[in-house]
């Protein structure tokens, strides 16, 4: 990872993850949307669509999945 970081979207694409199946991303124990910047030392986990019931709301997945999750990859960091 470069010192300036990369977006979670770039990481998902480089891993070949289907973007339409990602509802949110945990970054350092906080739910974020695709496009959130990652920096060296950050920890990230991609959460698939379909997390059951109220957990989606309590964890913030519903908001993350509907706020800034681009469904088409442009090759640019969507948050900057």
The model carries a pTM of 0.67
When pLDDT is cut at 50, 70 and 90, the band that residue 14 belongs to is very high
The average confidence (pLDDT) of the chain is 77
> Where do the DSSP E strands lie in the chain?
6-7, 22-27, 30-32, 37-38, 44-48
CATH number at 6-67 = 3.10.20
Residue 64 above 90 pLDDT? no
Strand partners, 7: 37
Q: pLDDT for 28-45, tens place per residue?
A: 988 888 889 999 999 999
Question: What pLDDT does 17 receive?
Answer: 94
């Amino acid at each position: 990872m470069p010192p300036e970081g990369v977006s979670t979207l770039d990481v998902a694409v480089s891993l070949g993850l289907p973007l339409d199946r990602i509802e949110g991303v945990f970054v350092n124990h906080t739910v974020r949307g695709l496009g959130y910047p990652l920096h060296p030392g950050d920890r990230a986990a991609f959460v698939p669509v379909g997390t059951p019931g109220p957990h989606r709301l309590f964890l913030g997945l519903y908001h993350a999945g509907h706020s800034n999750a681009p469904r088409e990859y442009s090759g640019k960091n969507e948050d900057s």
